[in-house]
Chain A
Amino acid sequence: MKNITFAAGIGLFFTSLYFLMAILAPLIAPYGMAEVVGGVWEPPSPEHLMGTDNIGRDLLTRMIYGGRTTIFIATAATILSFTTGTVFGLLAAVMGGWVDQLMSRFVDLLMSIPSLIFALVVLSVMPVTIPVLIVVMGLLDSTRVYRLARAVAVDINVMDFVEAARLRGEGRVWIIFREILPNALSPLVAEMGLRFIFAVLFVSTLSFLGLGVQPPAADWGGIVKENSDGIVYGIGAALWPAVAIATLAISVNLVADWVLNRTTSLKGGRG
């Protein structure tokens, strides 16, 4: 944590703030999540700092719980996409041959359709629940992690220390997890930030389209959908999630940039 830059510090501060808010949501939210506490679309006041929403629920409360749902789904999907993507990517690099060809061509195929379109196709037959969302998003996104992990691992795979490990008879699992993974970790961690942002945007988009988190549960995309009718009457309640998503995405970006720069400077490269 030494030599942290100013921008990265700000990014880290806001990122941790959002995560803390997500974890402590029931403690810090002023009202209950689906509790109707006032009139429809009341303007901000001391009782309701952001005003109320389309059926009179406290908007700040909805935003806090919404952040909890959005961040939870995005985090779970990122973890899923990283584990599958990394394991299969490293496996492809180490095995090579037809296994590599088969998996890589399949990933090419999956990436030849926009992931939103494919997600919509799949969600038309699956029940829309949070676990299903996490699995669909995580697996679709793992294709990108797979490509990165494979590309990095192919380079490391031919290095002398991996060769030495092979010669002393280590198994495939050892090679993947003890020789290659630790050396491939830094670019993967930097990529993780970008995938997390992508997952936040993706789940918000799905919820906005009515195909993500289902009401009365709150999430940032859903809050936009619920309050979007107010826009044409000049009521800006639906714009709050824009502020939240943008600040979260930019903060995570700043941290990811810093991690990337830090790890490339370790190798003596120039970014």
Chain B
Amino acid sequence: MPLLAKLLVQRIALGLLLLFLVSILIFVGTIVLPGDVAQSILGQSATPEALANLRAELGVNDPPVARYFAWLGGVLTGDLGTALTSGLDIAESLASRLRNTLFLAFWAAVIAVPLAIFLGLLAVRYRERWPDKLISAVTLASISVPEFLIGYVLMFFVGVKLGLFPSTAVSFRADASLDDKLESIALPIAVLTLVVLAHMMRMTRAAILNVMQSAYIETAELKGLRMFTIIRKHALPNSIAPIVNVVMLNLAYLVVGVVVVEVVFVYPGMGQYLVDHVSKRDVPVVQACGMVFATVYIGLNMVADIVSILANPRLRHPK
């Protein structure tokens, strides 16, 4: 087998192994920990009979290993079970919410990625001068504030004081026209963009600066090329791999940001679904959501590694 194919197969196998282990971790995290699920659902005043009934229904009396494999079999065949609190099929409710979440994350990425790369290039071009310092200061500030507060600050000033966009996403309907949908989620998109922009921009800047210190850049400088030409023709092609890596890692980061932002703007996505059911202690839903989030996260990290394997000739011919 060619070396490149072997590396790729190895990386994909590692991803699948990781996913399997994560499923164990999520299952063990909700089952073996000392908390009594039945007691938490019914509260302190529950009668012993009610507790025993609920325990039997949850299958808490079966051996954990058997329950794990029954659950895993269900997950693999798309049967996520039913929610304890509402009795609805989890896979069904999850599918529409996952679509909404991906819609939100997609548009945030469409805006954030080009903007971050452009600002990163700008910061390198004017390194140590005021545009670079301004960008650094703004990103430091946005890293220092949690996502939900950026959300409320925007909601307060842009949504309520200026009245430019709807301040919550309650008007969002999945069957509305694209324009209406985008208008109702303009603010959540802005928040998510701000959240990932800072990280992505800093990492792009670092990746390009790293390349800028190589000898061939110095040669290009000495032969009198203009700064932007050097960046565009020499630095950028060599920093594609690290930049794609940065982008993927930040899209993975978006997955977490989405949870909080959805709660802030009352957007009917996965994150809100997860948080709701954590407070209701609906364990099957939490497990299912946890698995979906983990899968997306691990998948994006895997894509990042695969791209850097494909883009880096040195990885193709390791010594």
Using a CB–CB distance below 8 Å, which chain A residues touch chain B? 109-110, 112-114, 116-118, 120-127, 197, 201, 204-205, 208-211, 221, 224, 228, 231-234, 236, 238-239, 241-242, 245-246, 249-250, 253
B278 interface neighbour in A124, A228, A241, A253, Cβ under 8 Å? A124
A209 CA to B272 CA, complexed, in Å: 9
Q: Is B148 touching A224 in the complex (CB atoms < 8 A)? A: yes
Tell me which residues from 251 to 296 in chain B have a Cβ below 8 Å from any Cβ of chain A: 252-253, 255-256, 259-260, 263-264, 274-275, 277-279, 281-283, 286-287, 290, 293-294
Interface of B is mostly: helix
**Given known A205-B260, A232-B160, contact A109–B22 (CB-CB < 8 A):** yes
**Interface digits, B279-319 against A, CB 8 Å rule (1 contact, 0 not)?**
10111001100100110011001000000000000000000
Q: Which residues from B are CB-within-8-Å of A110?
A: 25
Q: Is A120 touching B286 in the complex (CB atoms < 8 A)? A: yes
B149 interface neighbour in A117, A123, A232, A241, Cβ under 8 Å? A241
Q: Is B293 touching A249 in the complex (CB atoms < 8 A)? A: no
Closest-CB distance, B228 to chain A (whole angstroms): 27
Q: Which residues from B are CB-within-8-Å of A211?
A: 275, 278-279
Closest-CB distance, A15 to chain B (whole angstroms): 13
Given contacts A221-B148, A231-B156, 18 further A-B contacts (CB under 8 A): A112-B18, A113-B22, A114-B252, A114-B255, A117-B297, A121-B286, A123-B278, A124-B283, A125-B29, A125-B40, A126-B34, A208-B146, A208-B260, A209-B275, A242-B149, A245-B145, A246-B145, A246-B149
Smallest CB gap from B259: residue in A: A116
A121 interface neighbour in B26, B146, B301, Cβ under 8 Å? B26
Q: Which residues from B are CB-within-8-Å of A124?
A: 30, 277-278, 281-283, 286
Closest-CB distance, A52 to chain B (whole angstroms): 18
**Given known A118-B29, A205-B260, A209-B263, contact A236–B156 (CB-CB < 8 A):** yes
A238 interface neighbour in B22, B37, B152, B159, Cβ under 8 Å? B152
**Given known A121-B30, A242-B149, contact A232–B35 (CB-CB < 8 A):** no
Across chains A and B, the number of contacting residue pairs, with CB separation under 8 Å, is 149
> Is B155 an interface position by the 8 A CB rule?
yes
Q: Is B287 touching A120 in the complex (CB atoms < 8 A)? A: no
Q: Which residues from B are CB-within-8-Å of A122?
A: 29-30, 33
Q: Which residues from B are CB-within-8-Å of A209?
A: 260, 263, 275, 278-279
Closest-CB distance, A70 to chain B (whole angstroms): 11
Q: Is A125 touching B156 in the complex (CB atoms < 8 A)? A: no
Q: Is B255 touching A232 in the complex (CB atoms < 8 A)? A: no
Q: Which residues from B are CB-within-8-Å of A123?
A: 278
Q: Is B145 touching A249 in the complex (CB atoms < 8 A)? A: yes
Q: Is A232 touching B167 in the complex (CB atoms < 8 A)? A: yes
Smallest CB gap from A225: residue in B: B148
**Given known A120-B278, A126-B33, A209-B260, contact A249–B160 (CB-CB < 8 A):** no
Q: Which residues from A are CB-within-8-Å of B227?
A: none
Q: List 29 A-B contacts (CB under 8 A).
A: A112-B301, A113-B26, A113-B290, A114-B293, A117-B293, A118-B25, A118-B26, A118-B29, A120-B274, A121-B286, A122-B30, A125-B29, A197-B144, A204-B148, A205-B146, A205-B147, A209-B275, A211-B275, A211-B278, A231-B155, A232-B155, A241-B149, A242-B145, A242-B152, A242-B153, A246-B144, A249-B143, A250-B141, A250-B144
Closest-CB distance, B146 to chain A (whole angstroms): 5
Q: Is B167 touching A201 in the complex (CB atoms < 8 A)? A: no
> Is B168 an interface position by the 8 A CB rule?
yes
Using a CB–CB distance below 8 Å, which chain B residues touch chain A? 18, 21-22, 25-26, 29-31, 33-35, 37, 40, 140-141, 143-149, 152-153, 155-156, 159-161, 167-168, 252-253, 255-256, 259-260, 263-264, 274-275, 277-279, 281-283, 286-287, 290, 293-294, 297-298, 301
Closest-CB distance, A162 to chain B (whole angstroms): 30
Interface of A is mostly: helix
B141 interface neighbour in A116, A126, A233, A246, Cβ under 8 Å? A246
Q: Which residues from A are CB-within-8-Å of B253?
A: 114
Closest-CB distance, A33 to chain B (whole angstroms): 22
Q: Which residues from A are CB-within-8-Å of B161?
A: 234
Q: Is B290 touching A245 in the complex (CB atoms < 8 A)? A: no
**Given known A112-B18, A121-B26, contact A245–B144 (CB-CB < 8 A):** yes
Q: Which residues from B are CB-within-8-Å of A239?
A: 149, 152-153, 156
Closest-CB distance, A4 to chain B (whole angstroms): 20
Q: Is A121 touching B29 in the complex (CB atoms < 8 A)? A: yes
A208 CA to B147 CA, complexed, in Å: 11
A241 CA to B156 CA, complexed, in Å: 14
Q: Which 3 A-B pairs have the closest CB atoms?
A: A249-B144, A242-B149, A125-B35
Smallest CB gap from B18: residue in A: A112
